[in-house]
Amino acid sequence: MFQLEQKIWIIGFAVIPALVLIYILVAFWKSNRQKKFASPELLEKLSPNRSLFKSILKLAMLCLAFAFLVMALINPKIGTKLETVRSEGVDIVFAVDVSKSMLAEDIAPNRLEKSKQLVSQIINNLVSDRVGIVAYAGKAFPQLPITTDYAAAKLFLQGMNTDMISSQGTAINEAIELARTFYDAEDQTSKILIIISDGEDHSETSASDAAKNAQNDGIKIFTVGVGDVKGGPIPIKRNGIVLNYKKDQNDETVITKLDEDNLKAIARNADGQYINGSSTAGVVNSIKEILDTIEKTEFESQQVADYKDQFQWFLVFAIAVLFLDIFLLERKTAWLRKLNLFNENI
């Protein structure tokens, strides 16, 4: 397993092309000045040992040494062994609504971004629980299977958008059915499904019935309502500029509203509860209180441990290259004359 400890120093690699550019500019400047001073034939007689190849070689070695120094600052680490860690927690699946209605801006910045903020903040407050993510609109799509890798969960979360599922509409029942497959039937873990949505449901099958099936599997469903009961239009944007608002078949602006009653019914049928998502801190605290009351289950997970620093190798290489560069002169030598690189002896 490989990881970079100080990723901020990656920006240091940008200095290398800057060095090359400076070298090219200086070389052109020197060439122009020399042409004004004397003809090429006379310059060759004045400095017969001047080598273009060696000057380029010294530049390459300087860039290589700098690259090694940057890698030493980044400090790559290698995990040398896997450890099996026993921890206690619950399995939590987040079902995030990515239908077009989630673009409504009746809650800042919009319903979808607010949903992602809520999930991210909830994950930040978890310790040893396992998480998974489901995205749904007209269909449900598995975004991330159950894992203890919170960094990966937040990475997948940030990539979610309303274009990732072509089938539009809102089918909460499909999200519930898909989430049921995330939990391992052999692990007797406490199972939590958190649905984050505006509550609109266009599926033919009742989400409440799907919630009852989940409850029979031992899954508790908690719903978080995102939006305003008064509703708002769905903006159509290009490059961040609102061009129009979504209209229905009668050419009237569609107003999408938060359906709290539907979300409350879903939660009630799966031994859970409904939480209004207008306050991020309020949702996080409510989920934390809920998790504190739920029985934790012990499970095993493998984690890479015993990471060892590797910066010293890159530091040694950098010093070695700089040491060689000091003793590498820019004038021609006997072996270089024999190679006749760049036709320098002609």
CATH number (domain holding residue 91):
3.40.50.410
Residues 172 and 225 in one domain: yes
In this predicted model, which residue has the larger pLDDT, 304 or 128?
A: 128
Give 102's pLDDT tier (boundaries 50, 70, 90): very high
pLDDT, tens digit (0-9, with 9 covering 90-100), for 71-81: 999 888 876 66
Mean pLDDT of 18-43: 78
Instruction: Evaluate if residue 123 carries a pLDDT over 70.
Output: yes
Quick one: tokens of 200? 């609109």
| Secondary structure (DSSP) of 166-215 | SS-S--HHHHHHHHHTTS-TTS---EEEEEEE------SS-HHHHHHHHH
CA distance 322 to 327: 9
Residues 139 and 25 in one domain: no
Closest CA to 229 of 116, 104, 129, 57: 104
Q: How many domains does the chain have?
A: 2
Residues 98 and 144 in one domain: yes
Distances (CA, A) of 26 to 31, 38, 52, 65: 8, 18, 13, 21
Residues 145 and 227 in one domain: yes
State the pTM of this model. Answer: 0.64
Closest CA to 66 of 325, 289, 346: 325
Q: What percent of the chain has a predicted confidence (pLDDT) above 70?
A: 82
Residues 136 and 184 in one domain: yes
Residues 156 and 109 in one domain: yes
Residues 161 and 36 in one domain: no
Instruction: Evaluate if residue 179 carries a pLDDT over 70.
Output: yes
Task: End-to-end CA distance of the chain: give it in Å, rounded.
Answer: 53
pLDDT, tens digit (0-9, with 9 covering 90-100), for 138-155: 899 999 999 888 999 999
Instruction: Evaluate if residue 136 carries a pLDDT over 50.
Output: yes
Residues 45 and 149 in one domain: no
Residues 114 and 259 in one domain: yes
Residues 16 and 111 in one domain: no
Question: From the CB of residue 115, how many other CB atoms can be counted at a distance below 10 Å?
Answer: 25
Q: Give the model's pLDDT for residue 26.
A: 87
H or E stretch at 90:
none
Mean pLDDT of 12-16: 89
Give 346's pLDDT tier (boundaries 50, 70, 90): very low
Mean pLDDT of 247-274: 92
- Supply the range of the domain harboring residue 52: 2-75+310-343
In this predicted model, which residue has the larger pLDDT, 204 or 130?
A: 130
pLDDT, tens digit (0-9, with 9 covering 90-100), for 209-257: 899 999 999 999 999 999 999 999 999 888 888 889 999 888 899 999 9
Quick one: tokens of 181? 């497959």
Q: Give the model's pLDDT for residue 286.
A: 95
Instruction: Evaluate if residue 343 carries a pLDDT over 70.
Output: no
